[in-house]
């Protein structure tokens, strides 16, 4: 997200987002290497990154509430770069298509509905924890 509506994203903002994207993407790739899944099996690595990334996004939003003095690049670096790089929608979508092509409907539904429901709940859990840790000014 740009710092101001209408202001073109400047080099520092793009650089912060790119740096966060590198870190998040490398982390997601490492999780994928650690948790390989068989064809037709549950893609646990993608579930793990998406749910933990959603939880971290809830924490970040709770941290940023009522903090106008925070560095303007913090949210783009962490929220757009790191968590955007760590989580993925494209892999979820293509995994679902491949599970459908392989007639693995129960796995497909568990993966898709589970990621969505647990992911959205994880944002709420992260935000709730964040509000307790940082009660705000």
Distance CA(58)–CA(126), nearest Å, equals 4
Residue 135 CB, nearest distance to other proteins (Å)? 18
Q: With respect to other proteins, which residue has the nearer C-beta, 14 or 134?
A: 14
Cβ(19)–Cβ(85) below 8 Å: no
Distance CA(122)–CA(94), nearest Å, equals 23
Distance CA(58)–CA(121), nearest Å, equals 10
Q: Is 81 annotated as a binding residue?
A: no
Q: Is 28 in the site for other proteins (CB under 8 A)?
A: yes
Residue 97 CB, nearest distance to other proteins (Å)? 5
Q: Give me the residue label for tokens 């992260």.
A: 126
The dihedrals phi and psi of 86, each to the nearest 5 degrees, come to -70, -40
Residues 31-50 that bind other proteins (CB under 8 A): 32, 49-50
Q: Is 6 in the site for other proteins (CB under 8 A)?
A: yes
Short-list 57, 31, 50, CA closest to 119: 50
Q: Is 84 annotated as a binding residue?
A: yes
Select the residue interacting with other proteins from 65, 70, 120, 133 (CB under 8 A): 120
Q: Is 134 in the site for other proteins (CB under 8 A)?
A: no
Binding site members for Na(+): 84, 87
């Amino acid at each position: 997200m740009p710092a101001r509506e209408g202001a073109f994203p400047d080099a520092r903002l793009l650089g912060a987002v790119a740096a966060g994207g590198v870190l998040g993407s490398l982390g997601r790739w490492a999780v994928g290497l650690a948790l390989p899944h068989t064809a037709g099996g549950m893609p646990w690595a993608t579930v793990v990154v998406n749910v933990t990334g959603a939880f971290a996004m809830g924490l970040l939003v709770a941290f940023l509430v009522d903090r106008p003095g925070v560095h303007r690049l913090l949210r783009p670096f962490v929220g757009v770069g790191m968590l955007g790089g760590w989580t993925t929608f494209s892999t979820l979508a293509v995994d679902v298509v491949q599970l459908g092509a392989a007639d693995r409907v129960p796995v497909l539904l568990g993966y898709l509905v589970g990621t969505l429901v647990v992911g959205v709940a994880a944002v709420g859990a992260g935000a709730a924890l964040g509000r307790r840790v940082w009660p705000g000014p």
